[in-house]
Amino acid sequence: TGRDRVFSGVQPTGKLHLGNYFGAIQNWVRLQEEYNSLLYSIVDLHALTVPWEPALLRQSILDTAATLLACGINPEKCFLFQQSQVPEHTEFSWILGCLTNMPRLQCFPQWKVKNASQNYEGSVGLFTYPVLQAADILLYKSTHVPIGEDQVQHLELTRDIARCFNKKYGAFFPMPNAILSSTKKVKSLRDPTAKMSKSDPQKLGTVNITDSPEEIVTKFRKAVTDFTSEVTYDPDTRPGVSNLVTIHAAVTGLSIKEVVHQSVGLDTANYKGVVAEAVIQKFAPVRSEIKRLQEDRSHLEKVLQAGAEKAKELAAPVYQEIRRLVGF
């Protein structure tokens, strides 16, 4: 309907991988046909919640833009922008932070895990980034937020903050709803109990959209399976081969049942080759389009600038009203 507005973000913290594609980007592309007002943000402020290299971050922002465009994100149908180019995100985040209790943030797994597992003290930014996420969403009075299962708790916080704000200042924000990804979580090829992730220390576990055919073949060949050679789907007892089946189904658009049926008689070693080949085929055109776009840095910058200008046009009147409500 006319009031529906979609917001989603991706961190420019490294190359985008199959998990990002099937868990997020593919849905973003589909939603362009279903909604009229969409904001897709490269959330560079969020990328500062873990240690970063300025030159790599700058490159990553443009690479992420190139990848999203090559995958079918169309700036005619959505606003694609770099979060830090709309400073209202940070300002609004401060206001929301002052409306959020510390204990509410202490229970977030990202804080607990990253704070405990890395060789540095967790920053204030890492602690409060769910509040920045709430600001990202609410700044545009977004009604729909495509997310993976791992983000449900975060969206719940956004809803709580919106309720709190509305209670204080009158019904202002609509309650944002999750659009949950239907694809099962893509797991690391090297540790199929963990999700495929940009920050996986096992580089061979993560297949990037930009990987060469040779890299894709190698990564699948080294995928962890088990001592049974048949192809079956049972994530609890056979997480490795089941992850291959999940990827195969996602790449071909077939159901889990259909790909398992197709693969009767293959042993897991051959099956790895089949899935690798399907991934190579699917992403070959995307990969060459990414390369083409990466060569035109100024075009990418222009796309992001135009997106930021349009995002600002939406944010400015909302933020003006927020300033008035809180008493500025």
Contact residues for ligand ADP, defined by CB under 6 A = 10-11, 13, 19-20, 23-24, 147-148, 150-151, 185-186, 195-199
Instruction: Count the helices and strands in the chain (H runs, E runs).
Output: 13, 5
- Name the phi and psi angles at 165, rounded to 5: -60, -45
Active-site position among 141, 184, 187, 195? 195
Q: Whole-number minimum distance, CB 96 to ligand ADP, in Å?
A: 21
Q: Which is nearer to ligand ADP, 95 or 256 (CB)?
A: 256
Radius of gyration, CA atoms only, the chain: 21
Alpha carbon 36 to its chain's center: 21
Q: Which is nearer to ligand ADP, 165 or 210 (CB)?
A: 210
Question: Rounded to whole angstroms, how far apart are CA atoms 207 and 189?
Answer: 8
- Active site annotation includes 185: no
3-state helix vs strand vs coil in the chain, percent to 5:
55, 10, 35
Active-site position among 114, 184, 187, 272? 114
Q: Which is nearer to ligand ADP, 70 or 322 (CB)?
A: 70
Q: Which is nearer to ligand ADP, 148 or 235 (CB)?
A: 148
Q: Whole-number minimum distance, CB 88 to ligand ADP, in Å?
A: 22
- Active site annotation includes 114: yes
DSSP tag of 231: -
Q: Whole-number minimum distance, CB 186 to ligand ADP, in Å?
A: 4
Q: Which is nearer to ligand ADP, 207 or 241 (CB)?
A: 207
- Active site annotation includes 195: yes
Q: Which is nearer to ligand ADP, 91 or 215 (CB)?
A: 215
Active-site position among 185, 198, 310, 312? 198
Q: Whole-number minimum distance, CB 234 to ligand ADP, in Å?
A: 19
* Residue with smallest beta-carbon separation from ligand ADP: 23
Question: Rounded to whole angstroms, how far apart are CA atoms 264 and 153?
Answer: 39
Q: In 3D, which of 134, 144, 239, 120 has the Cα closest to residue 185? A: 239
Q: In 3D, which of 182, 274, 187 has the Cα closest to residue 224? A: 187
Is the distance from CB of 186 to CB of 18 less than 8 angstroms? yes
Q: Whole-number minimum distance, CB 12 to ligand ADP, in Å?
A: 8
Question: Rounded to whole angstroms, how far apart are CA atoms 21 and 84?
Answer: 23
3-state SS class at 161? helix
Other C-beta atoms closer than 10 Å to the C-beta of 180 total 15
Residue reference for tokens 């897709």: 40
Q: Whole-number minimum distance, CB 155 to ligand ADP, in Å?
A: 11
Q: Which residues are catalytic?
A: 114, 195, 198
